[in-house]
Chain A
Amino acid sequence: MTAHVTIRIQEEDFDIAREIEQLTHGRTDIGAIVTFSGICRGTEGGDTIAALMLEHYPGMAEEEIRRHAEEAMARWPLQGLTVIHRFGRIAPGQNIVLVLTASHHREAAFHAAEYLMDYLKTSAPFWKRVDGAKEQNWVEAQARDEAAAARWTKS
């Protein structure tokens, strides 16, 4: 069967169980699903936050994620993958991002999910603004995220 790739950028929430069902429906060649979901924390740098505001670059966001999804499909034997990234206002406890990877054996699914998340952090055009009780601040990019993405380019 062909690999099933789903990429969505959306304001609304997603249902993890339903996304797994859509990825695996009617198939018996999948032996492992790795699920990563990123969730909005209630604190940022020790301060309580009201919400995150996620801004994105429509068009480029989908294209950039698709480029990395294709790279993941080329690097690991995957049966399919799903990436969903939300934008707009996201309150503490709510979902931000979902990555599902499906493979025969768990190793490929684990590696591909980690690869996709590392690149989502550093090259997908999304920006987080923290909305606190009194002020709004854009989140600074982390050097550790750049380092995490860079390790995939080493052989």
Chain B
Amino acid sequence: MKVKYFAWVRERIGKAEETIEPPASVRTVEDLIGWLTKRGETYAHAFERPRVIRAAIDHAHVKPETAIAGAREIAFFPPMTGG
């Protein structure tokens, strides 16, 4: 699946998007945050406060407990500040 990062999450990880293949044990959005956090210091820095991180699956907002099965694109970003 494709993962996208925005704003300071993107800056901390150092990339805007990537393709990942998490194991089947990674079932939910919060599982995926935990799995990404273990990929290195940049990820650990980006996800150091996981409760602050917002997520979207295929362009729709989702909660941490949402299952990721079937997702084509998952995005992680800080709380929004547009308008």
Contact = CB atoms under 8 A, between A and B. Distances in A.
B82 A60 contact: no
Contact of A59 (B6, B8, B59, B81): B59
Contacts of B61: 64, 123
A127 B77 contact: yes
B82 A121 contact: yes
Nearest to A124: B82
B80 A127 contact: yes
Given A60-B56, A60-B75, A64-B59, A122 B80 contact: yes
A54 B82 contact: yes
Interface in A123-155: 123-129, 138-141, 145
Identify whether the interface residues of A are mostly helix, strand, loop, or mixed.
Answer: mixed
A76 to B, nearest CB: 19
* Interface size range on B against A: 10 to 19
* Interface size range on A against B: 20 to 34
A120 B77 CA distance: 16
A54 B78 CA distance: 14
Contacts of B56: 57, 60, 125
A13 interface: no
Interface string A87-122: 000000000110000000000000000000100111
B40 interface: no
Interface of B: 4, 6-8, 56, 59-61, 75, 77-83
Interface of A: 38, 54-57, 59-60, 63-64, 85, 96-97, 117, 120-129, 138-141, 145
* In the A-B complex, the 10 residue pairs with the closest CB atoms: A126-B82, A141-B79, A127-B7, A121-B83, A60-B59, A120-B83, A139-B81, A128-B81, A138-B8, A63-B59
Given A38-B83, A124-B82, A140-B79, 16 more contacts: A54-B82, A55-B7, A57-B4, A57-B56, A63-B59, A64-B61, A97-B82, A121-B80, A125-B6, A125-B56, A125-B75, A125-B77, A126-B80, A126-B83, A127-B82, A129-B7
17 contacts: A57-B6, A57-B77, A60-B75, A63-B60, A96-B83, A117-B83, A122-B79, A122-B80, A125-B56, A125-B75, A126-B82, A127-B6, A127-B78, A127-B82, A138-B7, A138-B78, A140-B79
